[in-house]
Amino acid sequence: MRNEYETAVLSRILPSDAERVESHLMGQKLIDAVKEAAGVPAMITGSVARGTWVKGDKDIDVFMLFPPELSRDELQEKGLAAAYAVVEKFGGTSEEKYAEHPYLNAVIEGYDVDLVPCYNVASTAEMKCAVDRTPFHTRYLIDKIAPLKEDVLLLKQFCKGGGVYGSDHMTGGFSGYLCELLILHYGGFSNFMRAASKFRYGEVVDIEKYYPDKKAVRALFTDPLIVIDPTDKHRNVAAALTPTRFSEFMELARDYCEKPGACYFVPDAATTISKSEFTALLERRKTALYALSFKTPEYVADTVVPQLRKTMETIRSMLIKEEFQVHRSEVFMGPEHSIIIFELLVAELPNIIVREGPPVWNHTNADKFVEKYLHQEEFAGPWIFEDRYYTEVPRKYITAASLLEDRKKIFSGALGKHVRISMEEGYDVLCGSDIWSEEFSFSLSAYFARSSHAVRKMRQLCNE
């Protein structure tokens, strides 16, 4: 039974019959074009094929099914050639992108079309690359999910409204396929929401019952939510879901079940921050904000973002090791530049640092320690506290900026491959209000306005 909010949402997001027919016809035209260009079958996958797309979305995924006898190089060569021929036939525009191998993202007659080459294998056990699995998802769900299409749309819109939709690395949320499997398993939107409000870390969904019990599943997977792929028992469909997004969704589900509202289905409006507002905010916080700015590597976000985060964690560890207190850190990827932000509680330290020595009873090492620092006159030490030697030595990095500007230090760490290459070409250390730019005004606004989506929904409900 739908409540008033869900009924209203469905009236807004359900595609019309005319839109469904139009998408179906466009899909068939693309399938025919692939067969004409490459002489191989093709199929439409994803939400358009399964009828679970939200009104206004014009994304079509076309998988070109090549014989498994082809080598990877041949698959790539023939696949891209066929994709370019299809785009040319319709007078579209295109751009090469890379997943496990290159594919073409195109705009054709107003549709955002992905033309993806894969192997036409008989089962997932015969897969030669990860994308070979995708057609099996559509074959598995196309009939099973038909009676639950509206429930899938509600869950997708709920996830979008809560900021947890999308399995890309920047979001780390729910994929469309994951939403469909959850609705299928729990039998509808309301049932799933009630269950999700009581989830615990390590929740298991095994639709095809591949494993004897949940303990067996948790022995293989350590993710917060484990949804065994019905087409491949060795894969967790929810692997991209981060612990943070999992927890945020549980909070959203719990609050929605207690007090439903239309706001849960509406994404938060993006806000921006001006340079003067940004400067005033920094003055109120009294923290020290630094950023490393460099050219964005020319790869897709799913490749670059994990590397940005790896780099951030490495440099964060460097700062903490040198006793600079990091309050928060974040990465922002822009089309031209990327920045890694560090907000510090302490950005400048005394000239001295205490160095711990060996125990007094460890005579050999103790003598070496004392001899090393015996003639130091600038600071105190060596001295004994309890059973160990200590001494004061000059600190190498007095300011956080001096560490961040030390290229030798920065590049000594484990940085993301493509991020390292970009930073080696040059990076800037920005501080305070100099970090602000029009390119990142939305990201910086979101950084300072940080709160869980459920908290923001609760505030909206309180103000209604």
- Give Cα 303 distance to the centre of its chain: 10
Backbone angles phi, psi at 392, to 5 degrees: -100, 135
Quote the Cα angle for 306-167-43, to 5°: 120
Q: Is residue 235 domain-shared with residue 305, that is, in the same domain?
A: no
Q: Is residue 305 domain-shared with residue 425, that is, in the same domain?
A: yes
Q: Of 386, 332, 337, 338, nearest to 359 (Cα)?
A: 386
Residue 460 inside a domain? The answer is: no
User: Residue 459 has what pLDDT?
Assistant: 67
Can you read off the two tokens belonging to residue 139?
A: 């074959």
In DSSP terms, 385 is beta-bridged to 388
Q: Is residue 169 domain-shared with residue 249, that is, in the same domain?
A: yes
**CATH number where 357 lies:** 3.30.70
Boundary residue ending a domain (97, 131, 165): 131
What is the DSSP code string of 180-194? Answer: HHHHHHHTSHHHHHH
User: Residue 377 has what pLDDT?
Assistant: 76
Q: Is residue 115 domain-shared with residue 55, that is, in the same domain?
A: yes
Residue 9 inside a domain? The answer is: yes
Return the SS3 of 354: strand
User: Residue 460 has what pLDDT?
Assistant: 66
Residue 138 inside a domain? The answer is: no
Can you read off the two tokens belonging to residue 133?
A: 């699995």
Residue 454 inside a domain? The answer is: no
Q: Of 348, 354, 349, nearest to 379 (Cα)?
A: 354
In DSSP terms, 321 is beta-bridged to none
Bond prior to 224 in cis (omega within 30° of 0)? no
* Calpha distance 112→117 (Å, rounded): 17
Q: Is residue 11 domain-shared with residue 89, that is, in the same domain?
A: yes
**Are 118 and 65 in contact, with CB atoms under 8 Å apart?**
yes
| Residues of the domain holding 151 | 146-265
Which residues in the chain show pLDDT less than 70?
A: 99, 451-464
pTM more than 0.85: no
Boundary residue ending a domain (131, 163, 181): 131
**CATH number where 36 lies:** 3.30.460.10
Residue 458 inside a domain? The answer is: no
In DSSP terms, 399 is beta-bridged to 348
**CATH number where 433 lies:** 3.30.70.590
Q: Of 64, 71, 40, nearest to 118 (Cα)?
A: 64
Residue 50 inside a domain? The answer is: yes
Q: Is residue 303 domain-shared with residue 161, that is, in the same domain?
A: no
* Calpha distance 364→367 (Å, rounded): 5
Q: Is residue 60 domain-shared with residue 205, that is, in the same domain?
A: no
Q: Is residue 377 domain-shared with residue 317, that is, in the same domain?
A: no
**Are 334 and 305 in contact, with CB atoms under 8 Å apart?**
no
Q: Of 287, 345, 337, 338, nearest to 311 (Cα)?
A: 338
Q: Is residue 326 domain-shared with residue 222, that is, in the same domain?
A: no
Biggest CA pair distance of the chain:
87
* Calpha distance 197→250 (Å, rounded): 5
Q: Using CB atoms within 10 Å of the CB of residue 385, give its burial: 0 to 12 exposed, 13 to 18 middle, 19+ buried.
A: exposed
Boundary residue ending a domain (362, 377, 394): 394
Q: Using CB atoms within 10 Å of the CB of residue 54, give its burial: 0 to 12 exposed, 13 to 18 middle, 19+ buried.
A: middle
Q: Is residue 57 domain-shared with residue 12, that is, in the same domain?
A: yes
Residue 456 inside a domain? The answer is: no
Residue 389 inside a domain? The answer is: yes
Strand pairing of 225-229 and 232-236? Answer: antiparallel
Backbone angles phi, psi at 54, to 5 degrees: -85, 140
Q: Of 369, 413, 363, nearest to 389 (Cα)?
A: 369
**Are 102 and 96 in contact, with CB atoms under 8 Å apart?**
yes
Number of folded domains that form the chain: 4
* Calpha distance 331→357 (Å, rounded): 38
Q: Is residue 428 domain-shared with residue 296, that is, in the same domain?
A: yes
Q: Is residue 292 domain-shared with residue 245, that is, in the same domain?
A: no
* Calpha distance 323→50 (Å, rounded): 54
